[in-house]
Amino acid sequence: MSAAGGDDIAIRVRGLRNSFGSQVVHDGLDMDVRRGEIIGVVGGSGTGKSVLMRAILGLREPQGGHIEVLGVDALSPAGRDSGVIERNTGVLFQNGALFSSLTVAENVAVPLKEHYGQLPDDMIHDLSMLKIRMAGLGEDAGAKLPAQLSGGMRKRAALARALSLDPALLFLDEPTAGLDPIGAAAFDDLIKTLQRALGLTVFLITHDLDTLYTICDRVAVLADRRVLVNAPLAEVERFDHPWVQEYFHGPRGRAAQAAQAKEA
Amino acid sequence: MSERPSIEHSESHPGILVASGDWTLANATHLLALLREAPDSARDIDGRDISRLDSAGAMMLSRYAVKVGLGLATVEVQPEFQPLTGTVQAICENPPRTVRKDYGFQQMLGRMGYAVEDYTRETLALVGFLGLTLKTGLGVLLRPVRFRLTPTVHHMEQVGLDAVPLVVLLSFMVGAVIAFLGATVLRDFGAEIFVVELVGIAFLREFGVLLTAILLAGRTASAFTAQIGAMQSGEEVDAIRTLGLDPIELLVIPRLVALLVMLPLLTFLAMIAGIGGGLAVSMASLGFTAEMFITRLQETLSVTHFWVGLSKAPLFAMVIALIGCLEGFQVQGTAQSVGERTTSSVVQSISIVILLDAFAALFFMEMDW
pLDDT tens-digit readout, A22-38: 888 888 888 989 988 99
Mean pLDDT of the region A34-44: 89
Residue B23 three-state SS: strand
Q: Which residue of B has its CA nearest to A87?
A: B26
pLDDT score, position B157: 95
| Together in a domain, B187 and B287 | yes
Which residue of A1, A95, A119, A166 to mutate against B (max B Cβ within 10 Å)? A166
Strands of the sheet with B44-53, listed across from one edge: B6-9, B16-23, B44-53, B76-77
Give the lowest-confidence range in A150-164, A197-211, B84-98: B84-98
Chain A residues whose CB is inside 8 A of the B66 CB are none
DSSP B128: H
Q: How distant, in Å, are the alpha carbons of A211, B68, B102 from that of A109?
A: 29, 28, 19
Q: Name the residue facing B28 among A123, A146, A163 (closest C-beta).
A: A123
pLDDT score, position B99: 56
User: Are A166 and B92 an interchain contact pair (Cβ–Cβ within 8 Å)?
Assistant: no
State the Cα torsion A130-A136-A137-A138 to the nearest 10°: 80
> Whole-angstrom Cα distance, residue A232 to residue A212?
10
pLDDT at residue B346 tops 90: yes
A147 touches chain B (CB under 8 A): yes
Chain B residues whose CB is inside 8 A of the A111 CB are none
B183 touches chain A (CB under 8 A): no
Q: Give the residue among B107, B288, B98 at the shortest CA–CA distance from B183.
A: B288
CATH of the domain at B59: 3.30.750
pLDDT band at B32 (very low <50, low <70, confident <90, very high): confident
Whether A142 contacts B328, CB under 8 Å: no
Last residue of a domain, one of B92, B110, B130: B92
pLDDT at residue A1 tops 90: no
In a domain, B359, yes or no: yes
A134 touches chain B (CB under 8 A): yes
Stronger pLDDT, B70 or B259, i.e. the higher one: B259
Our count of domains for chain B comes to 2
For residue A77, give the amino acid letter.
Answer: P
DSSP B85: H
Chain B residues whose CB is inside 8 A of the A194 CB are 87
Which residue of B31, B34, B54, B63 to mutate against A (max A Cβ within 10 Å)? B54
> Whole-angstrom Cα distance, residue B192 to residue B184?
8
| Together in a domain, B66 and B143 | no
pLDDT at residue B6 tops 90: no
Q: Partners of B177 in the beta sheet?
A: none
Q: Give the residue among B304, B310, B285 at the shortest CA–CA distance from B195.
A: B285
In a domain, B297, yes or no: yes
Chain A residues whose CB is inside 8 A of the B229 CB are none
Q: Name the residue facing A142 among B92, B99, B334 (closest C-beta).
A: B99
- Average pLDDT across chain A, whole number: 85
| Together in a domain, B145 and B230 | yes
> Whole-angstrom Cα distance, residue B152 to residue B258?
6
Percentages helix, strand, coil for chain B, rounded to the nearest 5?
75, 5, 15
| Together in a domain, B243 and B342 | yes
Å between B340 CA and nearest CA of chain A: 11
User: Are A166 and B88 an interchain contact pair (Cβ–Cβ within 8 Å)?
Assistant: no
pLDDT at residue B298 tops 70: yes
Give residue B97's Cα distance to chain centre: 35
pLDDT score, position A228: 86
* H-helix or E-strand spanning residue B53: strand B44-53
Whether B263 contacts B155, CB under 8 Å: no
pTM of the model: 0.65
User: Are A127 and B56 an interchain contact pair (Cβ–Cβ within 8 Å)?
Assistant: yes
Q: Give the residue among B245, B177, B170, B149 at the shortest CA–CA distance from B212.
A: B170
B230 touches chain A (CB under 8 A): no
Mean pLDDT of the region B118-126: 90
Burial label for B76, CB within 10 Å (0-12, 13-18, 19+), is middle
Between β-strands B16-23 and A72-73, what pairing exists: parallel, antiparallel or unpaired?
A: unpaired
In a domain, B321, yes or no: yes
Q: Give the residue among B354, B343, B358 at the shortest CA–CA distance from B319.
A: B354
In a domain, B107, yes or no: no
pLDDT band at B219 (very low <50, low <70, confident <90, very high): very high
B24 touches chain A (CB under 8 A): yes
B86 touches chain A (CB under 8 A): yes
A119 touches chain B (CB under 8 A): yes
In a domain, B110, yes or no: no
- In chain A, where the domains are located: 9-93+167-263
pLDDT score, position A3: 41
pLDDT score, position A94: 83
B80 touches chain A (CB under 8 A): yes
Whether A65 contacts A229, CB under 8 Å: no
Length of chain A in terms of residues written? 264
In a domain, B241, yes or no: yes
| Together in a domain, B37 and B147 | no
DSSP B19: E
Q: What are phi and psi of A60, to 5 degrees?
A: -145, 135
CA A185, A188, A192, A193 dihedral sign is positive
User: Could you tell me the CATH superfamily of domain A9-93+167-263?
Assistant: P-loop containing nucleotide triphosphate hydrolases (3.40.50.300)
| Together in a domain, B146 and B290 | yes
* pLDDT, tens only, B227-253: 999 888 888 888 888 887 888 998 999
| Together in a domain, B218 and B294 | yes
pLDDT score, position B96: 52
User: Are A131 and B55 an interchain contact pair (Cβ–Cβ within 8 Å)?
Assistant: yes
A193 touches chain B (CB under 8 A): yes
Q: Give the residue among A164, A188, A169 at the shortest CA–CA distance from A70.
A: A169
User: What domain range is B67 assigned to?
Assistant: 6-92
In a domain, B108, yes or no: no
pLDDT band at B95 (very low <50, low <70, confident <90, very high): low
Number of neighbouring beta carbons within 10 Å of residue A261: 9
Number of neighbouring beta carbons within 10 Å of residue A77: 8
Q: What is the DSSP string of chain A?
A: ------SSEEEEEEEEEEEETTEEEEEEEEEEEETT-EEEEEE-TTS-HHHHHHHHTTSS--SEEEEEETTEETTSHHHHHT-HHHHHEEEE-TT----TTS-HHHHHHHHHHHH-TTS-HHHHHHHHHHHHHHTT--GGGGGS-GGGS-HHHHHHHHHHHHTTT--SEEEEESTTTTS-HHHHHHHHHHHHHHHHHHT-EEEEE---HHHHHHH-SEEEEEETTEEEEEE-HHHHHH---HHHHHHHHSHHHHHHHHHHHHH-
* pLDDT, tens only, B311-328: 999 999 999 999 999 999
DSSP B188: T
B56 touches chain A (CB under 8 A): yes
* pLDDT, tens only, A67-94: 888 888 888 888 777 778 888 888 888 8
Å between B189 CA and nearest CA of chain A: 60
> Whole-angstrom Cα distance, residue B170 to residue B270?
8
Give residue B222's Cα distance to chain centre: 8
In a domain, B204, yes or no: yes
Q: Per mean pLDDT, which of B62-66, B255-259, B287-291 is the most reliable?
A: B255-259
Does the structure's ipTM exceed the value 0.85?
no
Chain A residues whose CB is inside 8 A of the B80 CB are 199
Give A91-131 as a 3 state SS string. Answer: EECCCCCCCCCCCHHHHHHHHHHHHCCCCCHHHHHHHHHHH
